[in-house]
Amino acid sequence: MNKETLHHQIENILSRLIGEDNELIERPIVPAYVQKNLRHQLRPYQQAALEHLLFMEGKPSSNHLLFLMATGSGKTNVLAASILYLYKQKGFQNFLFFVNSDSIIRKTKENLLNPNSNKYLFNPEGIEVNGERISVQVVDVFPKEKSKQTIYLKLTTIQKLHNELTHPRENGLTYQSLAEEELILLSDEAHHINVQTKKKGKKKETKEEVEEKNWESTVSNIMSANPKNRMLEFTATLNLDNDQLFDKYKDKVLFQYDLPRFMNEEYSKNVLLAKHTEDDESKMLKATLMNQYRKYVALENEIDLKPVIMYKSNTITLSKRSQEVFTQMIQELSEPKLKKFVQREKNTHRGTSTVWEEVFNYYDSTDLFKVIRDLRNDFTQDTILIVNSKEIFSEKDAVLLNSLEDMNNPIRAIFAVAKLNEGWDVLNLFDIVRLSEKASNTQKATDSEAQLIGRGARYYPFKYNGKKSFKRRFDLLGKKLSVLESLHYHTINESAYIKNLIKSLDAAGIQTKEEKYTRYEAKLKKKFKDKPLYKNGKIYINRSVKTTPEDYNSFEKYAIDTRVSYTFERTEEEQYGKRSQSNSTLSNLFTEVQLPLEKRMIQKAIQRNPFFSFSVLKKYIPSLENIRNFIESPSFMGGCQIFVRIPRGMSIADLSKKEQLTFIDRYLLYIEEKMKLNFSKEKGTAEFIGEPFANYIEENYVIETNSVNTNNRTLNTQVISSRSMRGQDWYIYDQAIGNPLEWALIEEIHQFLESLQENYKSIFLVRNERRVKFREIEGVRGFMPDFLLFMEDEKFSYQLFIEPKGSHLIAQDEWKEKFMLSLTEREDIEVLHDGKEVRLIGFKFYSDKNVDKQAFREDFVKKLDITGPIQEEFKLDY
């Protein structure tokens, strides 16, 4: 069976249309008002999800679509963006949100209705489209008379919705009332309404399955109540290996972003399994010390972080008893007792290169009296939340549970039974402790644990050195900081249980890292420290200056294309013809014509977008005198051309003024996004100033990596290793740490070495470990080349820029190559030196493709006036 879904088909179409036969067909552009009215910047994959939604407009089966996205990937952010788009672009005002759980309803209210919540997804300052304020109003029944600029939102569980429609009451929701409304149905955790589909052919059904079967029928009836109704489903859990589910959803899976991809792209915490053999009390103490260590690391680095730990039990009785044992353990902890525990664990983990070795080395050199005082202050009755799911807990506890990231939320520890799964969005959970008494080792139990681990793996976006990130930053910077980007699942070390847990994690797509780190350390060679380059040499870095109004006096300065092309979409039948037509055939049915840019049309489009008010534009174009200058100047709109691909037989005059205006609107959205992206207050210059070499080159640098376990295999995702450089005096470190492409480059330089030595002396290759940064000349982007090569001859000193680049990154980093090549092409390059004159030379990228390698070799030989490489075998020792 062909397992290709709608998502794959869209991707294939977009990839074929972009760049095929030089066709100028762009990906759909998410309107600027969507991002403007969201609290958080859309991540690239969320942007892609919305582009797929836009792509499907007007196409068959666009009334029922599903986003299949990993837990923690921001499905609700995509949902919020979809509401904005469907309201503004398609005129929908009624949105019916339904889900399986009351807890998700509470969470969604915070997401969509409470501007004072840190979980609120819209702009807290208000929703505004085209200068008009939009309100979101929660309702039980959609009003017949609707207010303008209002989004009506009904939030309910599928159970309540089913009962409400099955047993209608006066002034309540009925199928008849719904038939009079145009609805957008928003189904969260959509897998709960597919029992009827999944269980086809099954003779006997459970009570729960019968209920869920009825829910699925209810949703189907709502959809058919009005032909204009549409449904968007959101879930992280949809088993497309089930043939019935695949048949139902193959043409509905609009976007797919699974958990392995989410984790590989560094949007999650790293997940580590900590296998313990100790009793539960010792396990709790050890895990708590790990959790507290995270707090200390955060404080040392001025990071606002309140790490939370969960103690998970199998029964309410055990949970209560464990909480009592834990509280007593903390209160009775003494300095001698803790010191003995720390010494024992330090000896156990000595030489293991694990995070535990780091943790207990830290405590061994710390004032343990202060540690005990901190533990007693941090873990008290007021900071421990008991959430035994079979018991009713208060609304106050529910609020605390769903706002754990707030620094004024006191909770540090949670004692829980069963699951806290769907609807629980926690970011600062860093440790989960599985208490072992009466714990089940079945596959069902470990499946539930894997789901909990997946939720705990959500990344906590903290600020470091003033910058906030939503992705991991410290995978290669050692254990001390990477501990703030890791989730530890503390579990029993029992083979049967571990085997089932690994199966469950693999099935859920959760990748786990081993606790053992591989540590690579490179030291500056002692011999090099005696060289003049290290003692008195300089690294030449270009000076940055503040940008001026002249730096932004044309679209070119923002990298805005002044010639663009769009496709005019006709009716579905005219645009797409018979479904059997291929895309290559369709491309021959269009002709490209230029859109006349009339001044009044541009004015009308500008008035529809608040970004193009003069007060806003003036911030991005300081030299702008008035709106007329923006519209008429050849440096701005007056120099732009918009082309439209229309079906053959049509002319531009066949497009209504309203249709023509939509293309100007799209172009203005593109301009807005480019301006925001490329505007900066600093730019690089062509003046290079010498800085002391020793200040920028680390004497020692360390890289630590760990492995990813998936499907019972171990993969090194960084492909990093170390090779000895003993006897290679031209390389300044004793070890070459890098990936295969970087090693290949080092070997390439070695092939040139004999020829270089004939013309140059004191040849030194320097690995730039994120220390030496340049800024593009007359531009704002920063660049840190991986390698710098320093050489001398009788007349000059040379600083050479060399960058290995994976072929998949060449297009997006093309500007870096242009910067390096410009160093020998620009006449205005000025190097402020003392002593011997300095020349700066940059080369083409060294890539993993043979054609790129050859281009690099030819460039290297030509610019340095040397012969080709000596083809001798050069092996770096492991």
Residue 263 lies in a domain: no
Q: Indicate whether 307 and 178 sit together in one domain.
A: no
DSSP codes of every residue in 178-242: HHTS-EEEEEESGGGG-HHHHTTT-S---HHHHHHHHHHHHHHHHHHHSTT-EEEEEES---TTS
Q: Indicate whether 41 and 135 sit together in one domain.
A: yes
Could you report the per-residue pLDDT of 674-732, keeping only the tens digit for each?
A: 888 778 778 899 999 999 999 988 888 777 565 555 544 444 444 678 899 999 999 99
- The closest alpha carbon to 790, from 745, 733, 839, belongs to 839
Q: Which tokens in the block code for residue 391?
A: 């018991």
Could you report the per-residue pLDDT of 77-100, keeping only the tens digit for each?
A: 999 999 999 999 999 999 999 988
Q: Indicate whether 541 and 558 sit together in one domain.
A: no
Whole-model pTM?
0.62
Do residues 189 and 104 touch, judged by C-beta distance below 8 A?
Answer: yes
Q: Indicate whether 761 and 725 sit together in one domain.
A: yes
**Which ranges of 595-733 would DSSP assign to H, the alpha helix?**
599-607, 614-620, 627-632, 657-678, 693-696
Q: In what helix (H) or strand (E) does residue 156 lie, and over which residues does it extend?
A: strand 150-157
- The closest alpha carbon to 738, from 834, 599, 846, 627, belongs to 846
Q: Indicate whether 46 and 170 sit together in one domain.
A: yes
Average pLDDT rounded to a whole number, residues 294-304: 93
Residue 873 lies in a domain: no
Residue 93 lies in a domain: yes
Whole-number Å distance between alpha carbons of 455 and 449:
10
Report the CATH number that the domain containing residue 210 is assigned in CATH: 3.40.50.300
Average pLDDT rounded to a whole number, residues 750-754: 92
Do residues 501 and 449 touch, judged by C-beta distance below 8 A?
Answer: yes
Q: Which tokens in the block code for residue 590?
A: 């269009």
Residue 583 lies in a domain: yes
Q: What is the mean pLDDT of the chain?
A: 84
Average pLDDT rounded to a whole number, residues 222-241: 88
How is the chain split among helix, strand and coil, in percent rounded to 5?
40, 25, 35
Q: Strand, helix or coil at 114?
A: coil
DSSP codes of every residue in 335-383: HHHHHHHHHHHHHHHTTS-BHHHHHHHHHHTS-HHHHHHHHHHHSSTTT
| Terminal CA-CA length for the chain | 47
The model's confidence at residue 503, banded by pLDDT at 50, 70 and 90, is: confident
Do residues 874 and 834 touch, judged by C-beta distance below 8 A?
Answer: no
Return the minimum-mean-pLDDT range out of 90-99, 187-196, 620-629.
Answer: 187-196
Choice between 130 and 730, residue whose per-residue pLDDT is larger: 730
Q: In what helix (H) or strand (E) does residue 503 lie, and over which residues does it extend?
A: helix 495-508
Residue 855 lies in a domain: yes
Q: Is the pLDDT of residue 199 over 60?
A: no
Q: Is the pLDDT of residue 535 over 80?
A: yes
Q: Indicate whether 409 and 512 sit together in one domain.
A: yes
pLDDT of the residue at 870: 56
The model's confidence at residue 147, banded by pLDDT at 50, 70 and 90, is: very high
Q: Strand, helix or coil at 688?
A: strand
> Phi, psi at residue 135, to the nearest 5°?
-110, 150
Q: Is the pLDDT of residue 22 over 80?
A: no
pLDDT of the residue at 528: 95
* Angle in degrees, 0-180, between the axes of helices 850-864 and 740-759, rounded to the nearest 10: 20
pLDDT of the residue at 20: 44
Residue 570 lies in a domain: yes
> Phi, psi at residue 206, to the nearest 5°?
-80, 170
Residue 424 lies in a domain: yes
Q: Indicate whether 279 and 213 sit together in one domain.
A: no
Q: Indicate whether 412 and 494 sit together in one domain.
A: yes
Q: Indicate whether 328 and 426 sit together in one domain.
A: yes
Whole-number Å distance between alpha carbons of 224 and 205:
26
Question: Which of 202, 230, 257 finishes a domain?
Answer: 257
Q: Indicate whether 530 and 564 sit together in one domain.
A: no
Could you report the per-residue pLDDT of 550-609, keeping only the tens digit for each?
A: 888 898 888 788 898 887 754 333 333 333 333 333 344 678 899 999 999 999 999 888
| Domain assignment of residue 622, given as a range | 549-678
Q: Indicate whether 495 and 528 sit together in one domain.
A: no
Question: Which of 208, 229, 257 finishes a domain?
Answer: 257
CA-to-CA separations, 802 to 122, 333, 623, 788, 813, in angstroms, rounded: 44, 57, 37, 6, 14
DSSP codes of every residue in 395-425: HHHHHHHT-TTSTT----EEEEES---TT--
Whole-number Å distance between alpha carbons of 749 and 781:
28
Q: If you count them, how many residues does the chain have?
A: 878
Could you report the per-residue pLDDT of 317-368, keeping only the tens digit for each?
A: 889 999 999 999 999 999 999 999 999 898 888 877 788 989 999 999 999 9
Highest mean pLDDT among 172-176, 415-419, 512-516: 172-176
The model's confidence at residue 649, banded by pLDDT at 50, 70 and 90, is: confident
Question: Which of 648, 678, 708 finishes a domain?
Answer: 678
Whole-number Å distance between alpha carbons of 28 and 21:
19
pLDDT of the residue at 287: 96
The model's confidence at residue 816, banded by pLDDT at 50, 70 and 90, is: very high
Average pLDDT rounded to a whole number, residues 401-427: 80
Residue 1 lies in a domain: no
What is the number of structural domains in the chain?
A: 4
Q: Which tokens in the block code for residue 549?
A: 């109004």
pLDDT of the residue at 520: 80
pLDDT of the residue at 1: 43
* Maximum alpha-carbon separation in the chain: 97
Q: Indicate whether 697 and 648 sit together in one domain.
A: no
- The closest alpha carbon to 389, from 436, 433, 448, belongs to 448
* CA 129 distance to own-chain centroid: 27
Could you report the per-residue pLDDT of 281-291, keeping only the tens digit for each?
A: 999 999 999 99
Whole-number Å distance between alpha carbons of 330 and 628:
71
The CA-based angle 428-429-431, given to 5 degrees, is 140
- The closest alpha carbon to 37, from 135, 118, 163, belongs to 135
